[in-house]
Structure formats: structure tokens, C-alpha cells
Amino acid sequence: MRREKRNNNNLEDKVKWGKLISFIVAIILLIIAIMLSMSSETTVGELNYNRISNENNSIESASSDLSKNVNQVLKQNNVGGDNAEEDDNEINEIKESLTTNNIISNNTTSSSNVTNQTEGKEVGANVTAINENNENSETNNSNTTENQTQSNDAKKTEDNVNKTQFIFPVEGEVIKEFAKGNLIYSETLEEWITHLGIDIKADRTTVVKATADGTVKSIKNDPRYGLTVTIEHNDGYTSVYSSLLSAEFVKEGEKVTQGQTIGTVGNSSVFEVAEDNHLHFELLKDGSNINPEIYLK
């Protein structure tokens, strides 16, 4: 028990000494901080004093220089004499002259700077306007070139159409349109497919005519579109007549004229057997399918 009390007393003594030492250290640090602050304020004060002294010296120097300049002017103009009032008047006139000259000089410099800035702005504006005009000119030239190209393409298409005139091979309603770039629904196949021609509704045995002058290229039974006649025309055009009932009116290699009978409407197309009787008609230009409705009249 005595030993535990002794240990507790020693621990309390250590705590007391620790607090005392901490307090002394804090007071020392506070004193050091105060001394540093006072030293800093003294340094700042000395700097301000030196700066003010330098400014006063500069003012005195400038005043001395002004006095010297005035005296020099007085000597150059022979100012001085018996009449002090005249001397004062002459001195005042000289000072006013000096002041006026300085003002005029400053105004001239300012005016010159303003003029230069104005001219610079005008030049910059002119350069910007020129650049904008050039850009507009280039845009106009580009638009003109593009318009000319489109006009030439349209003219070429129009010329081709004018060179070869096409008529409808049968009279009737177009029940399925050209669909090369998109899909349409097939009732026979029950799926969405492309359609490279048009289907023209017509009664069975309706006469099918050549759409333009040409030469019969082939007569065959297509596995998809049934009995088919193909005719080649001028300017790279080819016409295809499918789902025919008969084609005994022409033969391969025979030259035909526009409106000449080449067969009759049937329902021989396996791909379109579920639809009404019609003529499946295709038109190609240089081997590529095109929309027949654009060219038929």
C-alpha cells in the first residue's frame, strides 16, 4: 500500500512539473513572437521612412532643376534691371511660356497617339473587311461550282431521258413500288425484302408492249420471277418484263419497236404468286436498277 501511494505521488509530481514546464515554454514562445513582431514593425517603419526621404529628395532635386532652368532662361533673355516689377513680369511670362509649351507638347503627343490608334483601328477594320470579303468570295465560288455541277448532272439526266423515251408496257395501277434502298413486305414470302422493279396490276392475258425500241436479249424462265423477256435499248438502258403468261410474239435477237407486243400478263412469278395478276417490270441503266416510274410516260 505504501509503495502504491509513493508511486501515485511520484506520478502527480511528474504531471505538475510537466504542466509547469509547458507553461514556461508557452510564455517563452509568446515573448519571442512579440519581439519578432516588434522587429518587423521597426523594419517596416524604417523602409517607409527611407522611401519618404527618397521622395522628398526627388522633389527637392526637381525643384532645384526647375530653378536652374528658370535662371538659365532668364540669363539667355537678359532678364534683370533696375525695375523689379518689370523683372517679375518677365519672369512670370517666361514661366507661363514654359508651362504653355509643355502643355502644347503633351497635347501634341497625345493627339499623335490618338491619331495612330485611330489609324491602327481603321487599318485593322479594313484588313478584317478584306478577309471577310475574300471568305465570302470563296464561299460564293464554292456555291457556284456546286450549283454548276448539280445543274450539269441534272442536264445529263434530262438528256438521257430525252434521248430514250419510255412508255408503260401495260396500262394499270402500280401496286408495288421500286424499293432498292429500303425494304417492303412480301405477302408471298411473308418477310421484308427489297424490290428492284415495279408491279403493274393487269388482267391475265393483257398484252405487254415493248417500252422502247431495242433488241430482245433473252427469253427465259427465271426461278424467282417466272417467264421473263429482256430487251436492250440505246444509251445503256435495259428493260425486263417478268411474270408473263406467254412470250411467243418475239424471239431472241429480234429488233422490236416501241409499243410492239412481246407477251401477255400472267402469274408465273414464284416470289409474287400470292398477289394479283400483274407485270413485274424493271429498268436498268448501265447494269444498275433504277426507278422505272421516273422514266415512264
With 90 as the cut, is the pLDDT of residue 178 above it?
Answer: yes
208, 264 in Cβ contact below 8 A?
A: yes
- CA–CA separation, 229 and 245 (whole Å): 11
Dihedral (CA of 161, 162, 165, 167) sign: positive
pTM of the full predicted structure?
A: 0.47
Among 199-213, 241-255, 270-284, the minimum mean pLDDT is found in 270-284
Domain presence at residue 144: no
- CA–CA separation, 263 and 192 (whole Å): 30
CA geometry: angle 59, 60, 62, nearest 5 deg? 65
With 70 as the cut, is the pLDDT of residue 174 above it?
Answer: yes
Whole-number pLDDT of residue 60: 56
pLDDT, greater one: 170 or 118: 170
In the chain, the largest separation of any two C-alpha atoms, in whole Å, equals: 146
pLDDT in tens, 224-255: 899 999 999 999 999 999 999 999 999 999 99
Q: Using alpha carbons, select from 233, 227, 292, 291 the residue that is nearest to residue 265.
A: 227
Domain presence at residue 288: yes
Three-state secondary structure readout of the chain: CHHHHHHHHHHHHHHHHHHHHHHHHHHHHHHHHHHHHHHHHHHHHHHHHHHHHHHHHHHHHHHHHHHHHHHHHHHHCCCCCCCHHHHHHHHHHHHHHHHHHHHHHHHHHHHHHHHHHHHHHHHHHHHHHHHHHHHHHHHHHHHHHHHHHHHHHHHHHHHHHHHCCECCCCCCCEEECCEEEEEEEECCCCEEEEECCEEEECCCCCEEECCCCEEEEEEEEECCCEEEEEEECHHHEEEEEEEEEECCCCCCCCEECCCCEEEEECCCCHHHCCCCCEEEEEEEECCEEECHHHCEC
pLDDT in tens, 39-98: 766 665 666 566 656 665 655 554 455 455 545 544 554 444 445 555 556 556 655 654
Whichever domain contains 285, its CATH number is: 2.70.70.10
Whole-number pLDDT of residue 181: 86
With 50 as the cut, is the pLDDT of residue 283 above it?
Answer: yes
With 80 as the cut, is the pLDDT of residue 212 above it?
Answer: yes
How many residues in total does the chain contain? 297
Whole-number pLDDT of residue 116: 44
With 70 as the cut, is the pLDDT of residue 151 above it?
Answer: no
Domain presence at residue 77: no
Among 34-43, 184-193, 215-224, the minimum mean pLDDT is found in 34-43
**How many structural domains compose the chain?**
1
Domain presence at residue 27: no
Domain presence at residue 189: yes
Whole-number pLDDT of residue 40: 65
Work out the average pLDDT over 262-284: 91
Mean pLDDT, the chain, rounded, equals 74
Whole-number pLDDT of residue 110: 43
Domain presence at residue 220: yes
End-to-end CA distance of the chain: 128
Among 124-133, 185-194, 266-275, the minimum mean pLDDT is found in 124-133
Domain presence at residue 36: no
CA atoms within 13 A on the CB side of 259: 2
Work out the average pLDDT over 251-273: 93
Domain presence at residue 251: yes
The secondary structure of residue 276, as a DSSP letter, is: P
pLDDT, greater one: 217 or 103: 217
Q: Which domain holds residue 186?
A: 174-294
Identify any residues that bridge with 18 across adjacent strands, giving them in sequence order. none
pLDDT in tens, 104-145: 444 444 444 444 444 444 544 544 554 555 555 555 555 555
Whole-number pLDDT of residue 297: 81
Whole-number pLDDT of residue 35: 86
With 90 as the cut, is the pLDDT of residue 7 above it?
Answer: no
